[in-house]
Chain A
Amino acid sequence: MTSASTTTVTAICWSCRQPVSSEHFCAACGKIQPISGDTDYFAFFGLPQKLAIDPADLEKRFHALSWKLHPDNFVRASEAERELSLERSSQLNDAYRTLLDPTARVEYLLAREGMRREGQQKQQAPPELLEEVFELNESLDELRMARAAGGDPEERARLSKTLAAAARKFQDSLAGVDAELKKLFIAWDAAIDAGADADSRRALMERMNAALNRRSYIRNLVDGVHKELTENC
């Protein structure tokens, strides 16, 4: 396990009044501990705040913690411990769900660092895609109109085909954004390892934020087309 815990909180165990240094249980009496206001999903798994995560390793950690934290373990425990188990195991599952998905993972990191800004960029087409977006919206309108007018099936089939082809193009740009994010992940992890200063970390986060906004824009576009196509069927 990598040396991790940025959040080694020095709290007092609710049960034995000893200082608690580990993440989930009191080292002295073994009792499950309440969640502090500011638990970090990475630290929850004993991981540093790095973005390249091996899913197999994460799953192993998830399963190991599930054995310890799951409410099954606390059926016969006190009411208070049952509550704590419910709280902790739900957070475990929330953390796993978030970190397993690369997009949710980076969104979480940025939100935590106060760097996730969707702002107006979410509504705006990325400049390099402006022309394609314009064409796509035109085809979408045509299809909607054709459907509203009851349009002949052949014409609608042709429009559907054009639209599907356009959607595939955007699917490719989505893959492009994901590749870019992956590179940023590596750069981020290197910066963390090198102990980079706040400014260079901030710069990386700005770039990740921009990539995320582009991603969510294209994602919405592709989803919209798919919805339209299924309705047209």
Chain B
Amino acid sequence: MGKTVGIDLGTTYSLIAYQDPATGRPKCVEGPYGTPLCPSIVSVDPDGAILVGEPARRRLLTQSSRTIYSVKRLMGRGIADVQDELKLFPFELAPESANVLRVRLGDRVFTPPEISAFILRELRQWAEQFFGDSVDRAVITVPAYFNDAQRQATKDAGRLAGLEVLRLVNEPTAAALAYGLHEKRSGKVAVYDLGGGTFDISILKLVSTGEGDIYQVLSTNGDTHLGGDDLDNLLLALAREEIARDHNVNLDAHPEAVQELRKSLIRAKHDLSSEDRAAVIFDLPGGKGSWVREFARAEFESWIAPIVERTIGPVKMALADAKLAPSEIDEVVLVGGSTRVPLVRRRVKEFFGRRPHIELNPDEVVALGAAVQADILESGVRDMLLLDVTPLSLGIETMGGVVAKIIPRNSTIPASAQEMFTTGVENQTGIDIHVLQGERELAADCRSLARFTLRVPPGPAGLARIEVKFLIDASGILQVAAKDLRAGTQQSIEVQPSYGLGDAEIEHMLEESIEHAEQDFTERQLIESRIEAEITLSATQKSLARDQAGELAAEERRAIDDAVAALREAMAGRDYKLIRTRLETLNAATERLAELQMNRALSVALEGKRLGQV
């Protein structure tokens, strides 16, 4: 039997972690790039090879139509749900996207679970490389506010990646688990999780009992379409507007340039977490000069304030459901890369009136918690217990399109409800059931989960008695069973999910994926690292040819030349790790050169402005 791991399948980054038996603590596995963060980006090469992570991120700049990021936003969603997404993200949907979306990447078409499966498979390879052993079972995290369809899609992705998904765990709950391990706590905890694409707030109660610690979720709320992506899209829209206005350049026809711009803006966003100012220099397509822009943190904050404020509504609702006031919360924990934004931290601190915890790396904490839960399930040694809740009420459609709630939101899972159904007219042979999730009164405003028909033997109206049991399991996924009470027989029901893949379809995909045998991991890394080295070498040559290179001190110049020679030597060999180490050395050596160029570009741009104003 192979290893069991915890996986954070994120919008922007994904991570894989394990419980380290040596220390008894969870640890993230580092990938071939020396970081545990695997960009959640997938690219399909013209020859059919699938690239995931860092190499795919590079393809975003060169082959954007064959590359996809933020696919998590499409998981478990229907065509009508993603109209807003399509305006902001370069997703190209294939026409046959009825109840499962199909994304076009080059000449191939994939469903979101298949694309997520590529990411999971990549992480799995990282771990297998690290352990020297197979990895076949996993706990995967999902946003707490994910609905049934989004959870099912995540589980399908695990299955397609050849993993047995032991449990789906809510991201904020996993984070709380990792924090609890880090420092024993008790009391009421609020976990504020603002990631790349999703926002969750969970209120937990930590209780020490004789058997161990219980992490009981009291309530959860959130927005599955609110995160760092939104900040990026906002900056991108502003930048494109300014570029159109100041340079009369429309980027619509240049998707690769848009990705280059987006990348620079994200870097500026990151810089503004620690600096007061950040600059972006962007080469306009077609050699039309460059767009140079300096951002002040205050300016950035005034733009993003409305987005940050959107998190407060769900926080208030979660507190109301837990029947707690902000002052009754003992600890506040920040999770997700976007909580590095100073404005987010200030707003959370102001709201709760206390300083939030940031001791653990907000990128890693969810994966670490998943590894803890994986270990609990795997080893059977339990000194902690998670009691999570279902984020949305479950209901069934009744007369007039009104929804009758049968399992209220924030019920501890597993949770169940039994409903009795009968016929309304004589000799009726079927009763149609429509299951929904959501808080609104009308079925049309809730999320359709599934439809199915109960079969009844012909007879007078009202005679049939069919008992249907709805059960939400510990992963937050719905199961339905029906029983004919008069006949005393169990009825097997074909539940047709409103959005999602059927069993047969998954089987088919699994067979297909085995046919597409994977390229050898090491071989792939070697090819990728050589390409990366080539790109950097050619960029370095270009920089050295520019005027500012003359301003380098002799030893600075020598360091660059040495690093170039060392890298070329490594490239002749087959050690991809050595190539990457030397590449980093070269990057470090050219830092000063990049700085000189940045300063030059900035002063030119500022002078230009001044001249224009005279």
Contact = CB atoms under 8 A, between A and B. Distances in A.
Contact of B413 (A75, A87, A93): A93
B601 interface: no
A194 B416 CA distance: 35
Contacts of B474: 70-72, 86, 89
Nearest to A88: B414
Contacts of B415: 90, 93-94, 97
B411 A73 contact: no
A70 B209 contact: no
Q: How large is the interface on B (under 10, 10 to 19, 20 to 34, 35 or more residues)?
A: 20 to 34
A66 interface: yes
B412 interface: yes
Given A90-B414, A94-B415, A66 B214 contact: yes
A63 B214 contact: yes
Contacts, number: 63
A66 B382 CA distance: 12
A93 B408 CA distance: 12
B480 interface: no
A72 B412 contact: no
Interface of A: 63-64, 66-67, 70-73, 75-76, 86-87, 89-91, 93-94, 96-97
A66 to B, nearest CB: 6
Interface string B205-232: 0010101101010000000000000000
B115 interface: no
A71 B414 contact: yes
B471 A86 contact: yes
B412 A93 contact: yes
Contacts of B212: 67
Interface in B340-396: 376-378, 380, 382, 385-387
Interface string B455-489: 00000000000000001111000000000000000
Interface hub of B211, B377, B411, B414 (most chain A Cβ within 10 A): B414
29 contacts: A63-B207, A64-B209, A64-B211, A66-B385, A67-B209, A70-B385, A71-B414, A71-B473, A72-B376, A72-B385, A72-B386, A73-B380, A73-B382, A75-B380, A86-B471, A86-B473, A87-B416, A89-B414, A89-B474, A90-B414, A90-B416, A90-B471, A93-B414, A93-B415, A94-B411, A97-B408, A97-B411, A97-B412, A97-B415
Contacts of B472: 90
Given A66-B385, A71-B474, A76 B416 contact: no
B166 interface: yes
Interface of B: 166, 207, 209, 211-212, 214, 216, 376-378, 380, 382, 385-387, 408, 411-417, 471-474
B380 A93 contact: no
B16 to A, nearest CB: 20
A86 B412 CA distance: 12
A88 to B, nearest CB: 9
Contact of B412 (A64, A71, A96): A96
A87 B216 CA distance: 19
Contacts of A70: 385, 387, 474
A154 to B, nearest CB: 28
A73 B413 CA distance: 15
A67 B411 contact: no
B166 A93 contact: no
A86 B469 CA distance: 13
Nearest to B479: A86
A70 B380 CA distance: 12
Contacts of B386: 72
A23 to B, nearest CB: 18
A71 B380 CA distance: 11
Interface hub of A63, A70, A90 (most chain B Cβ within 10 A): A90
Nearest to A97: B411
B368 to A, nearest CB: 18
B412 A67 contact: no
B516 to A, nearest CB: 32
Nearest to B216: A63
Interface hub of A72, A76, A94 (most chain B Cβ within 10 A): A72
Contacts of A97: 408, 411-412, 415
A222 B385 CA distance: 39
A91 B418 CA distance: 11
Contact of A75 (B209, B377, B414): B377
Contacts of A91: 416
Given A93-B415, A97-B412, 19 more contacts: A63-B216, A64-B209, A67-B211, A70-B385, A71-B474, A72-B377, A72-B385, A72-B474, A73-B382, A75-B166, A86-B474, A87-B416, A90-B413, A90-B414, A90-B415, A90-B416, A90-B472, A93-B413, A94-B416
A86 B414 contact: yes
A96 B410 CA distance: 13
B489 to A, nearest CB: 15
Nearest to B373: A72
Nearest to A60: B209
Nearest to A69: B414
A71 B377 CA distance: 9
Contacts of B378: 75
Contacts of A63: 207, 209, 214, 216
A86 B413 CA distance: 9
A166 B216 CA distance: 38
A71 B473 CA distance: 9
Nearest to A93: B412
Contacts of A76: 380
A87 B471 CA distance: 8
Nearest to B209: A63
Contacts of A73: 380, 382
B167 to A, nearest CB: 8
A84 B15 CA distance: 34
B382 A72 contact: yes
Given A71-B474, A72-B377, A76-B380, A93 B207 contact: no
A97 B216 CA distance: 13
* Smallest CB-CB A-B distances: 4 pairs: A90-B414, A90-B416, A93-B412, A67-B211
A87 B412 CA distance: 13
B610 to A, nearest CB: 49
B488 to A, nearest CB: 11
A72 B209 CA distance: 17
Contacts of A75: 166, 377-378, 380
Contacts of B471: 86-87, 90
Contacts of B417: 94
A94 B166 CA distance: 23
A223 to B, nearest CB: 11
